[in-house]
A and B are shown apart, each in its own frame.
Chain A
């Protein structure tokens, strides 16, 4: 034991040094403001990229290998083809046919239809990740380009949000390391708005108080995303498609062998609770996140919990959009019904790291709840632990004859687009959407309830706010729904308790009876004297 503690301290010290450096921003040996190549002026993003590549010769080809670029990911466990290109979700459903809107969160320029050439080097967008000025924003329907002239979104709408023309030269001359804001530009607003998708990531993490995120807070460790998701050659570790459910390697000692820092254990080890050793008895079965993220969406923003597409195309009391008191839409004629929630207690499941997706061509049960993703693991799996999840539920379109998930063509001005010329015609939108993915639409659609499980891993609270023992070790606590194992405080053996308390009652009755008879005879003897 003492050996491990010493090792932990030692490794902690070694790691603390680079950790602090990351946090304060390492001093660079290059001042991009002095580079001839970046004098500009630049007319477009790709021109800037061409300049970057003059020195950073390998950057584009490194990025071309990543999921950030390809939006395709082959699960190393299931072999399923995942990534934004391939999965069907229960938010905006799918990317195909909706490219220019979706790819405003792609790290490239110009992905506006399926023919986008993924091998172009200058199509990589360096600035969206490396901007330090906060002025570089991708235009929402710009297929990854920022606004080169002032324009609003939605376009030509005086009430829309203004996107000012970006000064590409200035941005290029100020590039630096990624920050919470640059990663967050896409990851905090996934699903089309702040905090919509993940629940444990929203713009409150750009400058979080310590209570919200003990690692990322400037009052805590001041981490950026890359402190844990530390890239190697632009390859960012820590994938939601293939997470590490249980890291048994523990401390990630700096070494020549590159390894991801993205698990808690890579810094904290597998026995991090020196002051409360009982907690170390839990780390093999309970993910760190389960206790250390008591609730998600704690930063003051709500996350979307429910999206019912079946009511899209209808108005409520003549209104296109109905909002709640905090301004969150409850109904939108374009999208259907929503439910939102802040400070959400996660749902808990056993999880061994294997995720299976329900992909486009898989037959589904139209009567049941379609699990967009499902996972394996149970109490007796050595690799599985209890993990917290956000469960996104909703209702989404299916091809009612083929019993497969259907993908709508939403965005665009054309004849088929659900939000455009199609005028909320599901048949047109689904036929066009499915055609793009090589599927013939049968002509009849329906809606099915679905659930999408999001492992919760951000918004780690300070230790004093961690979930206490009593919240799980009790009859209807946080883990009430998990079965197949005996947990003290939650479980007892029913027949044994009945038998036991009956014996106790019998013993009490026997001694009371004996005592009463003694009292009776004592009185009797007294009276008869």
Chain B
């Protein structure tokens, strides 16, 4: 059995703090949206805005890191082995002793499905949430940027739609963590940084 460091300390810190911030942003955001009452509007909105700044800060930091380290290349979509991966999740995973067609290495951390999903996350969901969220935050200054005739409902709606996309992403993402064999394999990797090679 070999032990390879796949997720550096920075990546793990980034992943888990982003996870915590996003979960809390979903909680507070959908409270503002009126789904339920937990903090009460005032506190929820305050925490949401505060968390939003933390997420923005973290993202700036992460983008910087990905460019300097070249790790952004991990997310370039590819069709290589895509069929096999799709076949694995829809059929082979149910078979006895089946093995994931993709092997995680420090050089290639994400399978082709992950690359597509994470790129959508990084290039669509997050930027839409940032831009709409910042506009939402600075609603009072809209006249200064020529937006006085844009209804707030439009920006709030785009932000909420992206919030729903985030929630759907989170649900599937959390489930996928537990599709490893053994069950805790992926979770362990993101906690310890090491991928135990079982083959």
Within 8 Å of chain A (Cβ to Cβ): is B140? Answer: yes
A469 close to B164 (CB less than 8 A): no
The interface size of chain B toward A, counting residues with CB under 8 Å, comes to 31
A473 close to B156 (CB less than 8 A): no
User: Looking at the complex, which of B37-45, B54-62, B78-86, B101-109 is the stretch in contact with chain A?
Assistant: B37-45
Q: A503-B168, A521-B95 known; A468 and B42 CB under 8 Å?
A: yes
The interface size of chain A toward B, counting residues with CB under 8 Å, comes to 34
Task: Give the CA-CA distance A59 to B193 in the complex, in Å.
Answer: 88
A492 close to B34 (CB less than 8 A): yes
B151 close to A497 (CB less than 8 A): no
Task: Give the CA-CA distance A473 to B175 in the complex, in Å.
Answer: 35
Q: Which residue in chain A gives the minimum CB-CB distance to B94?
A: A521
Within 8 Å of chain A (Cβ to Cβ): is B145? Answer: no
A486 close to B171 (CB less than 8 A): no
- Nearest Cβ in chain B — how far from A469, in angstroms? 4
Q: Mask for B184-195, Cβ within 8 A of A = 1, else 0?
A: 000000000000
Within 8 Å of chain B (Cβ to Cβ): is A275? Answer: no
B164 close to A511 (CB less than 8 A): no
Q: A491-B153, A511-B175, A525-B96 known; A500 and B41 CB under 8 Å?
A: no
Tally of contacts, chain A with chain B, CB under 8 A: 78
Task: Give the CA-CA distance A488 to B30 in the complex, in Å.
Answer: 11
Q: Mask for B166-186, Cβ within 8 A of A = 1, else 0?
A: 011001100100110000000
Interface residues of B, dominant DSSP: helix
Within 8 Å of chain A (Cβ to Cβ): is B160? Answer: yes
Within 8 Å of chain B (Cβ to Cβ): is A284? Answer: yes
Within 8 Å of chain B (Cβ to Cβ): is A311? Answer: no
Q: Mask for A491-511, Cβ within 8 A of B = 1, else 0?
A: 111001101110110011011
A475 close to B140 (CB less than 8 A): no
- Nearest Cβ in chain A — how far from B151, in angstroms? 7
Q: Mask for A346-385, Cβ within 8 A of B = 1, else 0?
A: 0000000000000000000000000000000000000000
A518 close to B93 (CB less than 8 A): yes
A500 close to B164 (CB less than 8 A): yes
Within 8 Å of chain A (Cβ to Cβ): is B127? Answer: no
Q: A469-B42, A511-B175 known; A518 and B94 CB under 8 Å?
A: yes
Question: Which residues of chain A are within 8 angstroms of B168 by Cβ–Cβ distance?
Answer: 503-504, 507
Task: Give the CA-CA distance A470 to B160 in the complex, in Å.
Answer: 20
- Nearest Cβ in chain B — how far from A500, in angstroms? 4
Which of B95, B139, B153, B179 has the most chain A CB within a 10 Å cutoff? B153
Known contacts A493-B153, A496-B164, A501-B164; can you find 17 more A-B pairs with CB under 8 A? A281-B140, A469-B42, A473-B45, A475-B34, A486-B156, A488-B45, A489-B32, A489-B41, A491-B156, A493-B157, A499-B164, A507-B168, A507-B172, A517-B94, A518-B93, A518-B179, A521-B95
Q: Which A-B residue pairs are the 8 nearest by beta carbons? A: A500-B164, A511-B175, A469-B42, A486-B153, A521-B94, A489-B41, A486-B152, A473-B41
A–B Cβ pairs within 8 angstroms, 13 of them: A278-B46, A284-B140, A468-B42, A469-B45, A486-B156, A489-B41, A493-B160, A496-B160, A497-B35, A503-B164, A508-B171, A515-B175, A521-B96
Which B residues form the contact surface with A (CB < 8 A)?
32-35, 40-42, 45-46, 93-96, 139-140, 151-153, 156-157, 160-161, 163-164, 167-168, 171-172, 175, 178-179
Which A residues form the contact surface with B (CB < 8 A)?
278, 281, 284, 468-470, 473-475, 485-486, 488-493, 496-497, 499-501, 503-504, 507-508, 510-511, 514-515, 517-518, 521, 525
